[in-house]
Homo-oligomer: A and B are copies of this chain.
């Protein structure tokens, strides 16, 4: 299929074309990369914008159940929702946190929902670009909401926060009054903290945990992109689908305020700028390992340095000169 055809079909909301487009942006092959860039550029002109929600939470907090309940609630109101995952851990295990659609069985069967299994990818840099492009394809396909899920470990939250309009932290009720070791940096990225499992025996604990987080949030420095009362902590029960409507109302209130005050636009602009700069840096460094001729030259120079034939700095300076004079490939 021509890329222009694929773009047209994605813009027309064709699911199979969307899946094919996402597979294309996930590929590492040079010709696929070129086609993927062509595809995303063509689709930029649709001008469609979904609400991008980042959702982070450690394993066991009930992320799948939450996405299923929350997604179904939105889908029932007529909103179209796409679910993507950023899962650096799957790179290690070869598995995938969204590989099994039975995790969200009802949502995956809903005609207004689209769930894309997480690719088994290598490093975070690559995952970031592929996820951003997949998000862009979902937006172009006309989804109203793109939910980007990540496991709350390592740096993936930062990556997801840099590509979403709203960052939600899902937490479990904590025994004792400790804050579950949530890192300050993660807390500072959150727009909404949802303490899940506020049902049955855990309800009082969830309420107490929520109060603890609300207190912790009040201690953080006020961010310009927040109206009064945000970031906010609330309790929800994904299994009982309780509190989800209130959480959604809060999200809409926050996003509405940010749209009115131009913080929405400013954040998207800052994110685009960030990813542009990040991609240039990544591309420059990638040439060192991906270009066979450069890789061989690097290995040879490194060997001479290790053997003491050349000094590391002189060898680096020579290599940098060499890289600048090298003709562009292809």
Within 8 A of B (CB), among A249-303: 269-270, 272-273, 275-277, 279-281, 283-285, 288, 298, 301-302
B280 touching A298, Cβ below 8 Å: yes
Instruction: Give A20-47 as 1s and 0s: 1 = Cβ < 8 Å from B's Cβ atoms.
Output: 0000000000000000010011001000
The verdict on A37 contacting B314 (CB below 8 Å), with A281-B285, A284-B320, A288-B280 known, is: yes
B281 touching A312, Cβ below 8 Å: no
The verdict on A276 contacting B288 (CB below 8 Å), with A129-B313, A314-B41, A321-B328 known, is: no
Question: Among B133, B306, B325, which residue has its beta carbon within 8 angstroms of that of A273?
Answer: B306
Min CB–CB distance A25 → chain B (angstroms): 9
B302 touching A277, Cβ below 8 Å: yes
A91 at the interface (CB under 8 A from B): no
**How many of these chains are in the complex?**
2
B313 touching A37, Cβ below 8 Å: yes
A301–B308 CA distance with the chains assembled, in angstroms = 42
Question: Among B37, B132, B269, B319, which residue has its beta carbon within 8 angstroms of that of A306?
Answer: B269
A279 touching B316, Cβ below 8 Å: yes
> Which partner residue on chain B sits nearest A324 by CB separation?
B328
A125 at the interface (CB under 8 A from B): no
B308 touching A272, Cβ below 8 Å: yes
A178 at the interface (CB under 8 A from B): no
- A residues apposed to B, CB below 8 Å: 37, 40-41, 44, 129, 132-133, 136, 269-270, 272-273, 275-277, 279-281, 283-285, 288, 298, 301-302, 305-308, 311-317, 319-321, 323-329
Q: Taking A276-B315, A321-B328 as given, write out 20 further A-B residue pairs in contact, using a Cβ cutoff of 8 Å, ordered by the A residue number.
A: A40-B313, A40-B314, A132-B312, A132-B313, A269-B306, A273-B302, A273-B312, A276-B301, A276-B319, A277-B298, A277-B302, A279-B312, A280-B298, A280-B316, A281-B288, A283-B320, A284-B284, A284-B288, A285-B285, A324-B327
